[in-house]
Amino acid sequence: MNGLRLILCNVLLTITVLAEAASPEAVYADKGMVTSRSELASMAGVEMLRRGGNAIDAAVATGFALAVTYPSAGNIGGGGFAVIRLEDGRVLTLDHREKAPMAAHRDMYLDESGNVIRGLSTDSHRAAGVPGSVDGLLTMLEAHGSLPRKTVMAPAISLARHGFPLSFDLARQLRGVLPAMARYPASVEKFSSRGEPFEAGEVWRQPDLARTLQRVARHGRAGFYAGKVGELIVAEMRRGGGDITLADLAAYESVWRPPVSGTYRGYEIWAMGPPSSGGVLVIAMLNMLEPFDLGAMGWGSADVIHHMVEAERRAYADRAEYLGDPDFFEVPVETLISKEYARHRFADFDPARASSSEQIGPRLADYGQESRETTHFSVMDADGVMVALTTTLNSGYGNKIVVPGTGILLNNEMNDFSVKPDTPNQYQLIGREANAIEPGKRMLSSMSPTIVTRNGEPFLATGSPGGSTIITTTLQVIINVIDHDMGIDDAVALPRFHHQWRPDQIRHDPYAISPDTEARLRRMGHDNISEIRWGRGIGDANSIMVKDGVIHGMKDPRNEGGAIAY
């Protein structure tokens, strides 16, 4: 199938499945499923399943396609994490998080007085870490995929070369971000029509990105980290005062790490370990909550919210002190995810009264031992292979800088380091020594791709974007399914709430907390409760669940996207 025919088929398929994908009911399949933030990206993945590929092939095709169809977070200039369950039941995790350039240093974002220089870690060339997405996707494919690289990348290349009609939502996004890109001619060229905002329905083509993807398809990682593309990235760094060099690009490599794992009410939880904080915190919070009958308390009740907020408060306090890149800092993972530590950590929990975040700090010493513009997608095939993958540029559209001649949008992940101890980042997350900037180090993340099994068999793949709310979104999907016995549609669609230790505040979706529930929570001492004022809600938990042998896929209704069945 040539590129033009492929894109025409994709557009027709979009029209055919859009009503189903946007439905509040889950989508059902017996052979395979891809659910992501973009219908076209999900279709790219399903096309691989139809060609006889496995879930790894589908995930890689989806990942590359998202770089074309969902550019605020899908990327080849950022990084991410993948949790993979293989056909034989083994669970693997791949860390393809960005790394600090070798020129990076602890105080690089501080002025002579030790104060943080506003915008330097978010809106400049120096905000970019060494990208990991391309290496990560190719590493997955080479290790466990079954289809050729050129086949898997063909949909993304075609979408970039021939274009696709812009939805109202994506056209609105591009219009909104354009002023922030005004300083960068290559960004304006890519994301506008000669400086004018695109309109919904216009066909958006990305020829530079198509050529970059073609080089990767032809040459593998060398098509990105070396040669013409690598040289163009470094030339842009030099032009803008950035730090990434050819040596940084050449040295980048993904890392297979052991998953963090735990159990919850008879289910096995498999998640990403450091430098992601998500897996550790999800398991730690589940451990704190396991002794309590959340199901009997009722979804949305003050008691359930209180119990979960108090677990979140304690887990996020530990995150600030103990979580970082394990290649640079000794992270006490086994202790933090142990049920014994959870009992110790929750020993001062009062079922009738809120704790104070000023008084709840890290506790290992007395124990004696991430815009919210990220994106998550889930994939499963007929053989039980599952992939939960979360990827990001950090802020929406990263640092807003497109590398001329490549179509690559750069990340601003350096802001995820602790640029100064106890100084909140853009998501108000606190960090300390464990996450201090060092050359070659990977910055701490909240990304939480998670797979749940039951007696070793596939049950759930989930995760979310959302900065600091990623972890609590993932937690709520798991609890909704296990404790509240929900189908994946309700588990994903119902409103959510969030607490992260500091600021000491419960934030929530509209309708997540009723007025009488809020009144009771305030009587318990939860004084700071507010409805969110950004986007369409907390998270975007594109998830897959297996029930009675049937694959159930759910695209989070908060945003566009597609759960596409095969």
Residues serving a catalytic function are 374
* Cα–Cα distance, 121 to 413 (Å, whole number): 8
Determine phi and psi for 96, rounding to 5 degrees.
Answer: -120, 40
Q: For residues 110 and 243, what is the distance between their CA atoms, to the nearest angstrom?
A: 16
CA–CA separation, 23 vs 197, rounded Å?
A: 30
Q: Which long-range contacts (CB under 8 A, 24 or more apart) does 340-345 make?
A: 341/284, 341/287, 341/367, 341/369, 342/284, 342/287, 342/288, 342/290, 343/291, 345/284, 345/288, 345/314, 345/318
Is residue 198 within 8 A of residue 166, CB to CB? The reply is yes
Closest CA to 206 of 497, 405, 61, 473: 405
Q: Helix, strand or coil for residue 134?
A: helix
Tell me if residue 532 falls in helix, strand or coil: coil
Question: Which letter, b or e, does each residue of 441-459 get, where b requires 16 or more Cβ atoms within 10 Å of its Cβ?
Answer: bbbbbbbbbbbbbeeeebb
Which of 155, 141, 252 has the alpha carbon at shortest distance from 213? 155
CA distances to 157, 245, 389, 433, 459 from 547, in Å: 35, 49, 21, 44, 7
Q: 337-340 long-range CB contacts below 8 Å, 24 or more apart?
A: 337/260, 337/261, 337/262, 337/280, 337/283, 337/284, 337/287, 338/287, 339/262, 339/287, 339/290
DSSP state of 84: E
Burial profile 91-102: b = 16 or more Cβ within 10 angstroms, e = fewer:
bbbbbbbbbbbb
Q: In whole angstroms, how far apart are CA 126 and each of 48, 109, 167, 538?
A: 37, 9, 32, 29
Question: Of the candidates 424, 391, 452, 421, which has an alpha carbon nearest to the alpha carbon of residue 67?
Answer: 391
193: β partners: 196
